[in-house]
Structure 1
Amino acid sequence: MQQFMVPVLSLLLLLASLNHTAYAQPLVLPLVDTHIHYSHDAWDMLPPKKAVQVLKDAGLKKAFVSSSSDQGTQLLYKVAPELIVPVLRPYRKRGELSTWFKDESVIELLENKLATNTYAGIGEFHIFGDDAKLPVMQAVIRLASQYKIFLHAHSDTEAVKYLFDQNPNIKVLWAHSGFEQPHVIDEMLANYPNLSADLAFRYEHSSNGKVHDEWLALFKKYPLRFMLGTDTYAPERWYYVIDHADWSREWLATLPQDLKQNIAYKNAQTLAQWALKDKR
Structure 2
Amino acid sequence: MVSLRFALVLVALLATDAVSYPGDFPLFDAHIHYNHDVWDSLPPNEAVQRLREAGILRALVSSSSDEGTQKLYAEAPDLIIPELRPYRKTGETGSWFRDESVIEYLQERLARYRYVAIGEFHVSGANADLPVVRHLVLLAKQHGLLLHAHSDADAVDRLFRHDPDARLVWAHAGYEPPSLVHELLRRHTHLWVDLSSRDDLTANGKLVPEWRALLVEFPDRFMVGTDTHAPHRWNAIGSSARSVRGWLADLPADIAERIAHKNGEEVLTQAFLKGG
**Same structural fold, with TM-score higher than 0.5 when normalized by the shorter chain:** yes
| Equivalent-residue separation in structure 1 for 2:23 and 2:60 (angstroms) | 23
Matching residue within 202, 227, 235 for 2:231: 235
- Which residue does 1:126 correspond to in 2? 122
- Which residue does 1:254 correspond to in 2? 250
SS in 2 for 1:36: strand
SS in 2 for 1:90: coil
- Which residue does 1:44 correspond to in 2? 40
Unaligned 5+ segments in structure 2 are: 1-20
Q: CA deviation at 1:147?
A: 1.3
Q: CA deviation at 1:95?
A: 1.0
| Equivalent-residue separation in structure 1 for 2:273 and 2:44 (angstroms) | 26
Give aligned pairs, total. 256
Q: CA deviation at 1:263?
A: 0.5
Q: CA deviation at 1:257?
A: 1.4
Letter in 2 for 1:92: R
Q: Deviations over 1:241-276 (max 9, x none)?
A: 110001111111221111001100011111113421
Matched, 1:148 2:144: yes
| Equivalent-residue separation in structure 1 for 2:40 and 2:147 (angstroms) | 29
Letter in 2 for 1:161: D
Matching residue within 189, 202, 205 for 2:201: 205
Question: Who wins on radius of gyration, i.e. which is larger?
Answer: 1
Q: Is the 8 A contact 1:198 1:229 kept in 2?
A: yes
Q: CA deviation at 1:205?
A: 1.2
Matched, 1:53 2:49: yes
Identity %: 49
Q: CA deviation at 1:215?
A: 0.8
Letter in 2 for 1:236: H
Q: CA deviation at 1:143?
A: 1.1
Within a 5 Å distance, the mapping from 1:38-117 to structure 2 comes to: 38-117=34-113
| Equivalent-residue separation in structure 2 for 1:190 and 1:278 (angstroms) | 27
SS in 1 for 2:250: coil
Q: CA deviation at 1:279?
A: 3.0
Unaligned 5+ segments in structure 1 are: 1-24
Matched, 1:170 2:166: yes
Q: Give TM-score scaled by structure 1 length.
A: 0.89
Q: Is the 8 A contact 2:221 2:263 kept in 1?
A: yes
Q: CA deviation at 1:119?
A: 0.4
Q: Give the superposed CA RMSD.
A: 1.3
- Which residue does 2:157 correspond to in 1? 161
Q: Deviations over 1:166-192 (max 9, x none)?
A: 111001100000101100100111111
Given the superposition, is the C-alpha separation of residues 120 and 212 from structure 1 closer, same or farther in structure 2, using an over 3 Å criterion?
same
| Equivalent-residue separation in structure 2 for 1:255 and 1:150 (angstroms) | 28
Q: Is the 8 A contact 1:28 1:59 kept in 2?
A: no
Q: CA deviation at 1:91?
A: 0.3
- Which residue does 1:180 correspond to in 2? 176
Q: Deviations over 1:68-88 (max 9, x none)?
A: 000000000000000001010
Q: Give TM-score scaled by structure 2 length.
A: 0.90
Given the superposition, is the C-alpha separation of residues 249 and 161 from structure 1 closer, same or farther in structure 2, using an over 3 Å criterion?
same
| Equivalent-residue separation in structure 2 for 1:273 and 1:176 (angstroms) | 20
Q: Is the 8 A contact 1:121 1:275 kept in 2?
A: no
- Which residue does 2:186 correspond to in 1? 190
Q: Deviations over 1:10-38 (max 9, x none)?
A: xxxxxxxxxxxxxxx97641001000000
Q: Deviations over 1:126-172 (max 9, x none)?
A: 00111111111111111111111111100011111110111110011
| Equivalent-residue separation in structure 1 for 2:111 and 2:187 (angstroms) | 33
Q: Is the 8 A contact 2:35 2:63 kept in 1?
A: yes
Q: Is the 8 A contact 2:195 2:224 kept in 1?
A: yes
